[in-house]
Structure 1
Amino acid sequence: MEKIAHTSLEDFYREMAAKLGKDLESIFPKGLHKDIGHFNVFDIAQTLERVRSTSEMPYNRRKYYKISFIKGKNRAEYADKVISIKQNALLFATPKVPYHWVPEDPNQSGSFCVFTEDFFMKDRSKNSLESLPIFQPGTVPVFEIDDELADEIEHLFKKIKKEIASDYIFKYDLIRNYVLELIHYGQKLQPASKISTSNDASMRVVSLFVELLERQFPVESSEQRLQLKTAKDYADRLAVHVNYLNKKLKESTGKTTTEIITDRITQEAKILLKQTQWNVSEISYALGFEEIAHFSNFFKKKTSLTPLEFRS
């Protein structure tokens, strides 16, 4: 199966520089210091102008947040959903949910901004971005909007662009407020209504599940810990119901979601037991078990050997 690209900010800027035909330094925002995170804003028409022949972008999981205001006919593909947009759309992207955005006509315009959680959450005592309803797992944050609201959103992006180009010393504080306005616009909207099941939805669900599973491996440090451990964890990340995920995986592989997860964890446990000097407690922790006894029972059930018997 084709893997999903894992796009960092560095990857994003290399891609943007190529699309815009500019050097990296010229598109990096002025006056932005590392200690306040990262933020930037772009014009969609300019970014598409040089890539008309490549109308589709692969699924990817970005290491940053993105809010897009898009004018034109498009569709957004998630694991089991296809959302068709006829005219204006507002899209919120989180690092946790991969998606595929497909322009369906050449007349695309609008703007998008990218930012890190460090930029937005200046006050570390507050909850994370993932606590906001718009970025919660299990949601599909794509909204079709009318012309009146599109005009308001477009005006807000114009203010962001004007501010980022200014020399105002507190401009990023002001931009945070504008981004918060965008988030509140999204949270007030209802989900886009034209949701359909795509013919290749099953293939996408299986492919994305495998990508999310494999992205957790190899375990390279005893301080690293698996974040996705259960079928529900994966279903939430893919914005599908756990029963739907289980059904599609069973149809495709003959195994349940839990069986696939436990098989992969067992495989990694064998590797760590044979190829590292970590003690069993460290391996147990890294693989997401709360108690070493739970790991030992899990491993013996899968292999008929205790972890120490297998290691010896």
Structure 2
Amino acid sequence: MKQTEKILIFNNLFDQYTHMGLPVDQIDEKTDFTIHNLLDIHGSVPYKSIVYRANFFSFVFVKNATGKYTTDDKIFETKPGTVYFTNPGHYKSFHWDQIKDIYLITLSESFLKENVHPDIFEEFPFLLAETVPPRVLTPDIFAEFEQLYQLICKEYFSNSPYRNRMIGNLFVVILLKIKEYFWEDYNPIYEGDRSSQIVKNFKMLLEKHYRDVSGGAVQNVFRVQDYADSQSLHPNYLSNVIKSKTGKSIGTWITEKTIAEARAMLQNSSVSIKEIAYKLGFSESTHFSSYFKKHTDLSPVLFRKQHKISVS
């Protein structure tokens, strides 16, 4: 895309809506998860968004609306009964001609790992797919999804101390139904061109490697050269493909994966911070602490304390 330098990047829906001048009163800034009916957001239609990149997952359930959306260079129509999702890192835009009932769920990779499934991409590999076409469901099947996202919406606006856990458990069922009804036979490796396949292979190796790292199966964290060697590519070529297709450098992908794994281990285990640092390839826990705080604005100790994990 020729105007790459002009494309805005949003790390969360609150920032996106704020920039677009849309209401944010239903968006909780303190969590990496949102859900709402777009009818409450778009007071008038037609509405056409700017082109942007979103560093989070979006799941859209179109009960009654018409329009279209773009992902990179692909344009998809939306009509009643449509369900689709988009992944982080792509050029996106959307246009609504009519809105009566559409629910949007957004969430980060960290939320997926912390509250939905620790091995999220192994259990649901279609989430790694670069571009997945939308599907139009029959009314009875769509109603099953509607029941689930309405329950999620109810919990989202509750004050329950178990809100995120309940949302996570309900969202697992949504992903299982997606897997069951229309992505069971989807191959996340194949995307139709060489550069897309390179991106898929990189994402899958990145995920597998960090799973091995956190599980203690390997002790050395991969560098760019290792990811390039795995596909018999020159590191510069791999870097260019990843950057051009996802909008993020390999270094950024590695950093985000490291932080996501660190957050998951800090929240979901009582492993010492020193051991977590070692598992993630840091020779000193102080270096890990500085690195974690730089990218999250919280020290590992404070992050763990806020999530009420006790260390033995």
Q: 1:19 and 2:26 equivalent? A: no
Query: Does 2:67 align with 1:59?
Result: no
Equivalence for 2:113: 121
Superposition pairs of residues 209-248 of structure 1, within 5 angstroms: 229-230=237-238, 233-234=241-242, 237=245
Residue 94 of structure 1 pairs with residue 87 of structure 2: yes
- Give 1:121 shift: 0.8
Q: Which residue of structure 2 aligns with residue 173 of structure 1?
A: 165
User: In structure 2, do the counterparts of structure 1 residues 167 and 72 end up closer, same or farther at CA, with 3 Å as the change threshold?
Assistant: same
Which residue identity lines up with residue 7 of structure 1 in the other structure? F
Structure 1 CA distance for aligned equivalents of residues 106 and 82 of structure 2: 17
Report the AA paired with residue 18 of structure 2. Answer: R
Structure 1 residues 132 and 60: alpha-carbon distance in aligned structure 2, compared to 1, 3 A threshold = farther
Match of 1:278 in 2: none
Give the share of equivalent positions with the same residue, in percent: 15
Alignment of 1:1-312 (within 5 A): 1-3=2-4, 4-9=7-12, 10-15=14-19, 18-20=21-23, 26-29=25-28, 38-50=32-44, 52=45, 55-70=47-62, 71-103=64-96, 105-122=97-114, 126-127=118-119, 129=121, 132-190=124-182, 229-230=237-238, 233-234=241-242, 237=245
**1:176 Cα offset (Å):** 0.5
Deviations 1:106-134 (A, max 9, x none): 23422111111222211799335487323
How far does residue 160 in structure 1 lie from its aligned partner after superposition? 1.0
d(CA) in 1 for partners of 2:240, 2:130:
10
- Tell me: CA distance 1:156–1:42, structure 2 relative to 1, closer, same or farther (3 Å): same
Tell me by how many angstroms 1:67 deviates.
1.1
Rounded Cα–Cα distance in structure 2 between residues aligned with 1:57 and 1:172 = 30
Change (3 A) 1:171 1:2: same
Secondary structure of residue in 1 paired with 2:22: helix
Tell me the SS of whatever aligns to 1:140.
coil
In the alignment, the residues of structure 2 paired with residue 124 and residue 188 of structure 1 have an alpha-carbon distance, to the nearest angstrom, of 17
What is the CA–CA distance in structure 2 between the aligned matches of 1:102 and 1:130, rounded to whole Å? 33
SS of corresponding position for 1:121: helix
TM-score by length of 1: 0.52
User: Shift in Å at residue 62 of structure 1?
Assistant: 0.7
**TM-score normalised over the length of structure 2:** 0.52
Per-residue deviation at 1:13? 4.8
The CA deviation at 1:95 is 0.7
Q: Secondary structure at the match of 2:98?
A: coil
Instruction: Return the offset for 1:152.
Output: 1.8
Q: Distance in 1 between the 2:33 and 2:102 partners? A: 17
Residue 69 of structure 2 contacts residue 95 of structure 2 at CA under 8 Å; is this kept in 1?
yes
CA displacement at 1:48 relative to structure 2: 1.4
Aligned length: 198
Contact 1:29-1:164 within 8 A present in 2 as well: no
Distance verdict in 2 for CA 1:15–1:83, change over 3 Å: same
Deviation string 1:202-261 (CA, Å, 9 cap, x unpaired) is: xxx9xxx9xx9xxxxxxxxxxx979984399459947xxxxxxxxxxxxxxxxxxxxxxx
**Which one has more relative contact order, counting CA pairs under 8 Å at least 6 apart?**
1
Q: Deviations over 1:87-109 (max 9, x none)?
A: 22112121133333322x32342
Q: Is the 8 A contact 1:44 1:109 kept in 2?
A: yes
Whether the 8 Å contact between 2:115 and 2:165 is mirrored in structure 1 is: no
Long gaps (5+) in structure 2: 184-192, 200-222, 228-235, 247-312
Distance of 2:127 and 2:240 partners within structure 1 = 17
Q: Which has the larger radius of gyration?
A: 1
1:8–1:63 CA contact under 8 A, matched in 2? yes
Provide the alpha-carbon RMSD of the alignment. Answer: 3.9
CA distance in 1, matches of 2:76, 2:18: 29
